[in-house]
């Protein structure tokens, strides 16, 4: 499996930041569902981390849902954070989910909406477990293997290059959670399909949310017009009876707990301490 280049992911989301809040229909749909699912959990968190917060839309929902909690959003893209400064009154941290600049056992709830497809999930899960207090909850959404299946099928008619990311299924995510120290992982899947009149509109939508090819083995440089025309012809073969082009997302919802244990008083600070170095 080709690795994802974090620097490329960073660049793509920086470029998408200005229009992300308007274009992020999938993120808002899934984020709202993820927040609503928290009503099923008996939880009164003091400190919440929105991991991969983007422009802060979900952080605002969390602040409303947990009015007495301190909500902090963290994202790798400074441009996303700047674009979201007026979206929520929550605090923001510019940081990498693979190396969280937070102290051990300092948050009660970690919320992560569609961040994992752009990460090494094993590392992110380990970091999430590290910063959660014992008994804390990690809730997240991710993309399953059937995400972008139409785009992958169309590209397969054009060439055999790596154009679409390979997404982890919920069983692999569950195994990674357990290996990272979490207990009682529970996951389920929802299929969402968006439709477009043209391939150009579909591609524009993906780029506007930063969802672009960041595989290290991807084709570099500009593609020829012939390749683009072949992709368009291939995708046209997938046009539905209603005259639209489909694009599917397999959305995985998950929750897992950090096992409870006694925490010394000095590890239960009043605020979320930012760790400057490791």
| Residue 208 resides in a domain | no
What is the average pLDDT across 178-206? 95
Residues 154 and 135: their CA atoms lie apart, in Å, by 45
What is the average pLDDT across 152-181? 90
Q: Is the pLDDT assigned to residue 273 strictly greater than 50? A: no
What is the average pLDDT across 84-89? 62
Phi, psi of 112, deg, nearest 5: -140, 115
Contacts of 36 (CB under 8 A, 6+ apart): none
Confidence grade of residue 151 (pLDDT, cut at 50, 70, 90): very high
Pick the residue with more confidence: 272 or 114?
Answer: 114
| Residue 93 resides in a domain | yes
| Residue 10 resides in a domain | yes
| Residue 213 resides in a domain | no
Confidence grade of residue 21 (pLDDT, cut at 50, 70, 90): confident
What is the average pLDDT across 3-28? 84
Average pLDDT, the chain: 87
Confidence grade of residue 87 (pLDDT, cut at 50, 70, 90): low
Task: Scan for tokens 């043209």, then name that residue.
Answer: 198
| Residue 240 resides in a domain | no
| Residue 269 resides in a domain | no
Q: What is the pLDDT of residue 274?
A: 45
Is the model's pTM score more than 0.85? yes
Q: Is the pLDDT assigned to residue 275 strictly greater than 50? A: no
| Residue 44 resides in a domain | yes
Q: What is the pLDDT of residue 5?
A: 78
Residues 244 and 265: their CA atoms lie apart, in Å, by 59
Q: For residue 85, count CB atoms less than 10 angstroms from its CB and return exposed for 0-12, middle for 13-18, buried for 19 or more.
A: exposed
Domain membership of residue 27 as a residue range? 6-146+165-193+249-263
Q: What is the pLDDT of residue 90?
A: 58
Render pLDDT for 228-238 as a digit per residue (tens, 0 to 9): 899 999 999 99
Pick the residue with more confidence: 222 or 118?
Answer: 118
| Residue 169 resides in a domain | yes
Half-sphere exposure of residue 260: CA atoms within 13 angstroms, side-chain side: 1
Number of structural domains the chain divides into: 1
Q: What is the pLDDT of residue 221?
A: 45
Q: What is the pLDDT of residue 88?
A: 53
The CATH number of residue 130's host domain is: 3.40.50.150
């Amino acid at each position: 499996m080709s690795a994802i280049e974090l620097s490329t992911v960073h660049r793509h989301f920086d470029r998408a930041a200005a229009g992300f809040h308007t274009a992020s229909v999938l993120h808002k749909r899934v984020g709202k569902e993820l927040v609503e699912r928290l009503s099923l959990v008996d939880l009164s968190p003091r400190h919440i981390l929105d991991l991969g917060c983007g422009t802060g839309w979900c952080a605002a929902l969390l602040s409303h849902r947990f009015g007495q909690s301190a909500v902090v959003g963290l994202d790798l893209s400074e441009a996303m954070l700047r674009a979201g400064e007026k979206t929520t009154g929550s605090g923001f941290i510019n940081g990498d989910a693979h190396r969280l600049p937070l102290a051990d056992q300092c948050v009660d709830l970690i919320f992560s909406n569609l961040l994992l497809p752009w990460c090494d999930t094993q590392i992110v899960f380990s970091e999430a477990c590290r910063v959660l207090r014992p008994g804390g909850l990690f809730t997240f959404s991710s993309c399953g293997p059937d995400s972008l299946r139409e785009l992958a099928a169309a590209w397969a008619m054009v060439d055999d290059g790596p154009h679409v990311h390979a997404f982890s299924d919920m069983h692999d995510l569950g195994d990674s959670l357990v290996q990272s120290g979490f207990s009682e992982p529970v996951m389920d899947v929802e299929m969402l399909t968006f439709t477009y009149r043209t391939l150009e509109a579909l591609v524009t939508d993906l780029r506007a949310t930063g969802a672009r090819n960041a595989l290290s083995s991807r084709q570099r440089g500009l593609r020829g017009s012939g390749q683009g025309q072949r992709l368009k012809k291939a995708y046209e073969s997938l046009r539905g009876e209603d005259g639209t082009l489909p694009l599917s997302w397999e959305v995985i919802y998950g929750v897992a707990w950090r096992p409870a244990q006694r925490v010394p008083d000095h590890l239960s600070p009043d605020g979320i301490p930012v760790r400057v170095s490791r």
